Amino acid sequence: MNTVLATRLEQNSPGHTRARSKEDWLMQKKCNSMTGPLTENQETIPLIRPERWMAVPGVQFFFTTRRGGVSQGRYASLNLGGHVGDDPGAVACNRARVEAIWAGRIQQVCYLNQVHGTTTVEAGNWSPSTPPDADAQVTRQPGLVLAILTADCAPVLLADGTARVIGAAHAGWRGGLSGVLESCLEAMLRLGAHRERIHALIGPCIRQSAYVVDETFQAAFITHAEKNALDCKKFFSKQNNAGRLHFDLPGYLQARLKSCGLSEERIHDAELCTYSKNNDFFSHRHATHRGLAPCGRQIGGLFLV
């Protein structure tokens, strides 16, 4: 198991108690065989599970890492993105491995053709080979896994456990600014969710310390964001990096969720950085800086049980 993520488990021994916090992520390793019984030597797929500190009855949340697959090179190893130039056979094998984790419990992992837009669709209304152009999806059907592909953008997972309605959004700066979270939430409300009961979870994404932008980006962002009555200047800061601007993507997304009426105590943040933890996660920006773009994609997902 990767040592960075393994530290999430190190205080999980019997007899050890402490207050739950955002450090209480659980790395769960699953062994999966595509052709026969499980053996000790088979590949393992690490999953990041937040249920220890964010439990929504009847809903399972998870995030994959870049470990546990068969892809090679810049896509090593659990690349789940079929649009980045990886061997299609490897991607198919990786996706099958993920699906096998919940064999018999899920019907389908629903992927989207993500375009950095704001369209939300109801999951399950398409063939796996022809996903719709959309950046968010919702369902109230058990067994459908809502999957969001990322490599620096934020997967935002949403759930109303009482109404049994869930949603998932791909929220980079473009989608976040344009309203993908609002689009997803409105679709959930149409399926019967109640705003005051919805929990939101922002998954692994690029964090402010690694997200360097220029003043042109800031000016355009602030001009556009004024339409949403948000003080966006607070999401930009100059840190100890030659005075360059850094953008707080998850902080901005939290503010957008609050402006939609979600209560602060129901908005959760994984606090995991894809760029700085690039050995654990795919990071488009890190790969670009190293001349290794395009790179693979991990997923954030959830489903009703």
Are 298 and 205 a contacting pair, CB within 8 Å? Answer: no
Contact 301, 157 (CB under 8 A): yes
Q: What is the pLDDT of residue 223?
A: 85
Q: Is the peptide bond before 77 cis (omega within 30 degrees of 0)?
A: yes
Q: For 227-254, how does the pLDDT look when each residue is reduced to its tens digit (9 = 90+)?
A: 777 888 899 998 766 688 999 999 999 9
The residue ranges of the chain whose pLDDT is under 50 are: 1-42
How far is Cα 90 from Cα 76, in angstroms, rounded to an integer?
A: 10
3-state secondary structure of 236: strand
pLDDT of residue 43: 52
pLDDT digits (tens, 9 = 90+) for 10-22: 222 223 333 434 4
Q: What is the pLDDT of residue 175?
A: 96
Q: Which residue has the tokens 């355009």?
A: 220
Q: For tokens 């109230």, what's the residue?
A: 140
Q: What integer pLDDT is reported at residue 119 of this predicted model?
A: 98
Nearest to 167 by CA among 185, 143, 149, 144: 185
pLDDT, residue 167, reads: 98
